[in-house]
Amino acid sequence: MQTSWTSLTSVNARRNPRTLCACNHWLTAGHAFPPTNGTTDATSQPLTSGAYSPQAGECRTTLMLTTPVPVGHMRSAFSLSCVVLLACETSAPGFSDSGPTGSDAPFADDGVCSLHGPVTVRTCTTSANDYTPRVASSKGTRFPICISDDNVYHPINPDVPSNSRIAAVEEMAKLLKFDGSARPTSDDFLKARVLYTQPEGLDSRVQRREDIHFAKATVNGVPKECKDMTPEERAPFADRCAGPEKLIPLINDALAKGAVGTDVTLQAARMEAAMVWFMWLSFYKESQGCFGDPGQCDSTSAYWGGQQDVNAAPLGYGKIVRNFSDESYRRGWDAVLAIRCAYDYGTAQPSAPDLAAVKEKARDQIDRMNNHALALFVRSKIAAMPCDAPYESLRTLGPVLDVVARAIDPAKADMLKAEFQKPAAQFNRDGVLAALDELFGCP
């Protein structure tokens, strides 16, 4: 019998234009006993869902169960509706209401609803091949003895430029109100453009970013990097050349439209999706390049945490994941440390017979973590439907997962591909959530 436990609270509240907030509290609970010794470690730790801060115009309360209850004794759902008089924000962004398309779809009152919804993160056991430096007893068992066994990231270089790029993503998130706290202004988009185009900043890396899940681009049969190709040469390789062919047009269009005040909340959602897409590409690409360029090991840690301290407050990609699950966030660091461990092992013993296998295990661990992280973000947007802004994020990021979903289950990938092409009113919300959980539910 698996000894696992989970806890989830999903609470949604919506604004009434007369400053009367109707707060709908939905609590779902399903627990199994934790290990018999009453403790959990990295191999059995529940991935417990987090909660977002209230969005503009929302009344939101977070409740959390901390006492495990046997599944057989309690598996229930109840709702508590309350009406409280609050000075709710009246300038919250408005969206058109396409109507719910699945069970428990968020209801958009007066066209206003949350930019993120609650996500249930399943309980997962750790793969037998995964590096787990948080578990002292695993030292030297799954991976060889290495520098990361103290659960600390040891930078290879004293300066990690990617830290500043993640800091820029954070600043952009504040400017464009990715948290939904207010409507971004035209001036906010102009400032975001300046931030985005700083020398050696985000734009410089987006322009060269490739999706290495796809085969290399070629010119006359000779492999060539996308950044060194003409637009005409890149066009047949749009999937591989994701940065210049897909992200750059998306970012430029969103910033331009936002700067003239066109659907500013929608443009902010597109920018958020673009930054998440960029971090997904970068986290994977830098990790895979680590063994040839040690600076990319450090960049991998930067794209995950915004810095190299495992215990510091995260920024960027890891910060997003920690909103859903602290354990998923910690497992992200496990994966980063696996890459660092494999690099250290290869440096110390370049002729070790098991080196290729160690590198492959590290690559696989970080690949699974990366896809799990993006799927969590996509699922949060599905939970926020039928708002236009979250659905715009789905239209952008849902298809990004196709290449990795197809490698796992082509039939599910076909279903997801078809759903992400549908208008919101026809979107099979529950079916897509189930498929994403089955494909990427565990890191």
Span 301-346, pLDDT tens digits: 999 999 999 999 999 899 999 999 999 999 999 999 999 999 999 9
pLDDT band at 114 (very low <50, low <70, confident <90, very high): low
Tens of pLDDT along 268-279?
Answer: 999 999 999 999
pLDDT exceeds 90 at position 176: yes
Q: What percent of the chain has pLDDT over 70?
A: 74
**Contact (Cβ atoms closer than 8 angstroms) between residue 377 and residue 117:** no
Task: Cite the beta strand spans of 275-367 per DSSP E.
Answer: none
Tens of pLDDT along 84-103?
Answer: 222 222 222 222 233 323 32
Note whether residue 73 is domain-resident.
Answer: no
Note whether residue 2 is domain-resident.
Answer: no
Note whether residue 82 is domain-resident.
Answer: no
Using alpha carbons, list the distances in angstroms from residue 316 to 87, 289, 357, 400: 32, 20, 30, 19
Confidence (pLDDT) at 168: 96
**Least confident residue range of 36-40, 220-224, 265-269, 346-350:** 36-40
Q: Identify which of 212, 218, 269 has the alpha carbon closest to the alpha carbon of residue 396.
A: 269
Note whether residue 429 is domain-resident.
Answer: yes
Note whether residue 243 is domain-resident.
Answer: yes
Mean pLDDT of 286-290: 95
Distance CA 145, CA 160 (A): 25
Q: How many residues does the chain have?
A: 443
For the chain, how many structural domains are there in total? Answer: 1
- The predicted model scores a pTM of 0.76
**Residue 285, both tokens:** 């690409």
pLDDT band at 117 (very low <50, low <70, confident <90, very high): confident
Query: What is the overall mean pLDDT for the chain?
Result: 79
Mean pLDDT of 209-224: 97
Note whether residue 115 is domain-resident.
Answer: no
Mean pLDDT of 59-68: 32
Note whether residue 358 is domain-resident.
Answer: yes
pLDDT exceeds 80 at position 31: no
**Least confident residue range of 64-78, 171-185, 208-222:** 64-78
Rank 23-37, 94-108, 290-304 by mean pLDDT and report only the highest: 290-304
The boundaries of the domain holding residue 328 are: 136-440
Tens of pLDDT along 354-387?
Answer: 999 999 999 999 999 999 999 999 999 998 877 7
**Contact (Cβ atoms closer than 8 angstroms) between residue 416 and residue 402:** yes
Confidence (pLDDT) at 102: 30
**Contact (Cβ atoms closer than 8 angstroms) between residue 133 and residue 150:** yes
Note whether residue 273 is domain-resident.
Answer: yes
